[in-house]
Amino acid sequence: MSLIVYAIPFFLACIALEMLISVLKKRKVYRFHDTVTSLNIGFISETIRVLVKLLTVVVYAVVLDKVAAFQWDIKSPWVWVLAFFMYDFFYYWAHRSGHEINLLWAAHVVHHSSEDYNLGTALRQSSTNQVFYWIFYLPMAIAGIPVSVFVTIALISALYQFWSHTQLVPKLGWADRVFVTPSNHRCHHGRNDYCLDKNYGGTLIIWDRLFGTYTEERDDEPVVYGTLKPLQSWNPVWGNLRNYVALTRDTLATAGWRNKLMRVFAPPAWTPEGQPVETVDMRHYTPFETPSTRLQRVYGVLGSATVLALVVHLLLVAADLSMGARILYTVLIACNTACLAWVFEGKSWALALESLRNTLTLGSLTAGVWFSPVAPKIQIVAALVLLLSWALLWRINRERVAQANLQAVPAVRA
Ligand SMILES: [Zn+2]
Ligand SMILES: [Zn+2]
Q: Encode pLDDT of 239-268 as tens digits.
A: 999 999 999 999 999 989 999 999 999 999
Kindly report the average pLDDT of the chain as a whole number.
90
Q: Do 121 and 18 share a domain, yes or no?
A: yes
Average the pLDDT over 222-231 and give the result: 92
Largest CA distance in the chain: 84
Least confident of 86-90, 247-251, 348-352: 348-352
Residue pLDDT, tens place only, 9-28: 999 999 999 999 999 999 99
Question: Who has greater pLDDT, 240 or 366?
Answer: 240
Q: Which domain holds residue 310?
A: 294-413
Residue pLDDT, tens place only, 295-311: 999 999 999 998 998 88
What is the pLDDT at residue 172? Answer: 97
Please tell me the number of the ligand nearest to residue 109's CA. Answer: 1
Please tell me the number of the ligand nearest to residue 195's CA. Answer: 1
Q: How many Cα atoms sit within 13 Å of 141 on the Cβ side? A: 19
241 located within any domain = no
Q: Do 196 and 334 share a domain, yes or no?
A: no
How many angstroms does the Cα of residue 100 sit away from the middle of ligand 1?
10
355 located within any domain = yes
Instruction: Choose the final residue of a domain: 163, 190, 211.
Output: 211
Q: Do 196 and 301 share a domain, yes or no?
A: no
Band the pLDDT of 99: cuts 50, 70, 90: very high
Do the beta carbons of residue 145 and residue 86 sit within 8 Å?
Answer: yes
Q: Do 111 and 202 share a domain, yes or no?
A: yes
Closest CA to 310 of 98, 8, 54, 24: 8
How many angstroms does the Cα of residue 400 sit away from the middle of ligand 1?
38
What is the pLDDT at residue 53? Answer: 72
Beta bridge pairs of residue 204:
179
Q: What is the DSSP letter of 272?
A: T
Q: Do 33 and 180 share a domain, yes or no?
A: yes
What is the pLDDT at residue 376? Answer: 72
What is the pLDDT at residue 129? Answer: 86
Cα 343 to Cα 385: distance, rounded to the nearest angstrom? 17
175 located within any domain = yes
Average the pLDDT over 101-110 and give the result: 96
What is the pLDDT at residue 368? Answer: 72
Please tell me the number of the ligand nearest to residue 108's CA. Answer: 1
Residue pLDDT, tens place only, 149-173: 999 999 999 999 999 999 999 999 9
Cα 133 to Cα 107: distance, rounded to the nearest angstrom? 10
Question: Who has greater pLDDT, 53 or 201?
Answer: 201
What is the pLDDT at residue 114? Answer: 96
Do the beta carbons of residue 389 and residue 358 sit within 8 Å?
Answer: yes
Q: What is the DSSP letter of 118?
A: S
161 located within any domain = yes
How many angstroms does the Cα of residue 279 sit away from the middle of ligand 2?
21
How many angstroms does the Cα of residue 320 sit away from the middle of ligand 2?
33
Band the pLDDT of 272: cuts 50, 70, 90: confident
What is the pLDDT at residue 364? Answer: 81
Residue pLDDT, tens place only, 162-216: 999 999 999 999 999 999 999 999 999 999 999 999 999 999 999 999 999 999 9
How many angstroms does the Cα of residue 45 sit away from the middle of ligand 2?
15
Amino acid at 362: L
Q: Do 349 and 202 share a domain, yes or no?
A: no
Band the pLDDT of 277: cuts 50, 70, 90: low
Answer yes or no: is pLDDT of 319 > 90.
Answer: no
Average the pLDDT over 335-341 and give the result: 93
How many angstroms does the Cα of residue 58 sit away from the middle of ligand 1?
26
Do the beta carbons of residue 231 and residue 237 sit within 8 Å?
Answer: no
Instruction: Choose the final residue of a domain: 196, 211, 226.
Output: 211
Cα 224 to Cα 196: distance, rounded to the nearest angstrom? 11
Sign of CA dihedral 90, 93, 98, 103: negative
Average the pLDDT over 378-394 and give the result: 86
Other CB atoms within 10 A of residue 17 CB: 12
How many angstroms does the Cα of residue 189 sit away from the middle of ligand 1?
7
Q: What is the DSSP letter of 204?
A: B
Domains identified in the chain, total number? 2
What is the pLDDT at residue 111? Answer: 97
Band the pLDDT of 271: cuts 50, 70, 90: confident
How many angstroms does the Cα of residue 202 sit away from the middle of ligand 1?
10
What is the pLDDT at residue 411? Answer: 55
Q: How many Cα atoms sit within 13 Å of 142 on the Cβ side? A: 6
In sequence order, what are the residues at sequence separation of 6 or more whose Cβ sits closer than 8 angstroms to the Cβ of residue 145?
64, 72, 79, 82, 83, 86
Q: Is 36 helix (H, G, I), strand (E, B) or coil?
A: helix
Compute φ and ψ for 101, nearest 5 degrees: -120, 120
How many angstroms does the Cα of residue 36 sit away from the middle of ligand 2?
17
How many angstroms does the Cα of residue 165 sit away from the middle of ligand 2?
6
Answer yes or no: is pLDDT of 413 > 60.
Answer: no
Beta bridge pairs of residue 179:
204
How many angstroms does the Cα of residue 110 sit away from the middle of ligand 2?
10
How many angstroms does the Cα of residue 190 sit away from the middle of ligand 1?
10
Q: Do 301 and 176 share a domain, yes or no?
A: no
Do the beta carbons of residue 92 and residue 206 sit within 8 Å?
Answer: no
Please tell me the number of the ligand nearest to residue 213's CA. Answer: 1
Element (H, E) at 80: helix 77-100
What is the pLDDT at residue 52? Answer: 79
C-alpha distances in angstroms, 368 versus 318, 344, 373? 18, 29, 6
280 located within any domain = no
Q: Quick one: 319 exposed, middle or buried, by C-beta within 10 A (0-12, 13-18, 19+)?
A: exposed
Answer yes or no: is pLDDT of 131 > 90.
Answer: no
- Across 39-107, the runs of DSSP E, i.e. the strands, are none
Compute φ and ψ for 179, nearest 5 degrees: -110, 160
How many angstroms does the Cα of residue 269 sit away from the middle of ligand 2?
20
Answer yes or no: is pLDDT of 93 > 90.
Answer: yes
58 located within any domain = yes
Q: Do 117 and 14 share a domain, yes or no?
A: yes
Do the beta carbons of residue 21 and residue 168 sit within 8 Å?
Answer: yes
Percent of the chain predicted with pLDDT > 70:
94
Cα 203 to Cα 180: distance, rounded to the nearest angstrom? 5
What is the pLDDT at residue 5? Answer: 75
In sequence order, what are the residues at sequence separation of 6 or more whose Cβ sits closer than 8 angstroms to the Cβ of residue 263?
102, 247, 250, 251, 254, 270, 272
Closest CA to 38 of 361, 298, 296, 307: 307
343 located within any domain = yes
Please tell me the number of the ligand nearest to residue 118's CA. Answer: 2
Least confident of 26-30, 78-82, 308-312, 317-321: 317-321
Q: Do 165 and 301 share a domain, yes or no?
A: no
Residues in the chain: 414
Cα 99 to Cα 107: distance, rounded to the nearest angstrom? 10
How many angstroms does the Cα of residue 98 sit away from the middle of ligand 1?
7
Band the pLDDT of 370: cuts 50, 70, 90: low
Q: Do 167 and 73 share a domain, yes or no?
A: yes
Other CB atoms within 10 A of residue 408 CB: 10
CA 399 to the chain's CA centroid: 32
Q: Do 23 and 136 share a domain, yes or no?
A: yes
Q: Do 39 and 186 share a domain, yes or no?
A: yes
How many angstroms does the Cα of residue 185 sit away from the middle of ligand 2?
6
Do the beta carbons of residue 350 and residue 339 sit within 8 Å?
Answer: yes
How many angstroms does the Cα of residue 122 sit away from the middle of ligand 2?
6
Band the pLDDT of 60: cuts 50, 70, 90: very high
Compute φ and ψ for 307, nearest 5 degrees: -60, -45
221 located within any domain = no
Cα 166 to Cα 179: distance, rounded to the nearest angstrom? 15
What is the pLDDT at residue 43? Answer: 92
Instruction: Choose the final residue of a domain: 178, 211, 244.
Output: 211
Least confident of 101-115, 148-162, 187-201, 377-391: 377-391
Please tell me the number of the ligand nearest to residue 104's CA. Answer: 1
